[in-house]
Amino acid sequence: MTIGIIAISLLFMLIGMMVQFQLKSKFTEYGKVATSSGLSGKEIAEKMLRDNGIYDVQVISVDGFLSDHYDPVKKTVNLSADVFEGRNISAAAVAAHECGHAVQHATAYSMLMLRSKLVPVTQISTTLSQWIILAGLGVMGFGGGSQTILLIGILLFAVTTLFTIVTLPVEFDASARALKWLEGTNLATSVEHDKAKDALKWAALTYVVAAVSSVAMLAYYIMIYSGRNRD
Residues of the domain holding 218: 2-230
58-117 residue pLDDT tens:
999 999 988 999 999 999 999 999 999 999 999 999 999 999 999 999 999 999 999 999
Is 98 a catalytic site residue? yes
175-204 residue pLDDT tens:
999 999 999 998 889 999 999 999 999 999
Tell me, rounded to whole angstroms, the distance of Cα 122 from its chain centroid: 14
**Would you state the pLDDT for residue 66?**
85
Q: Residues 141, 127, 201, 26: what is their CA dihedral angle, to the nearest 10 degrees?
A: -100
Count the domains in the chain: 1
Q: 29, 43, 85, 98: which is the annotated catalytic residue?
A: 98
Angle among Cα 80, 112, 172 to the nearest 5 degrees reads: 65
Tell me, rounded to whole angstroms, the distance of Cα 144 from its chain centroid: 37
Phi first, then psi: what are they for 187, rounded to 5°?
A: -80, -10
The answer to whether residue 209 scores a pLDDT higher than 70 is yes
State pTM to two decimals.
Answer: 0.89
Q: How confident is the model at residue 1 (pLDDT cuts 50, 70, 90)?
A: low
User: Residues near 147 by Cβ (< 8 Å), separated by ≥ 6?
Assistant: 136, 140, 225, 228, 229
Is 177 in contact with 209 (CB distance < 8 Å)? no
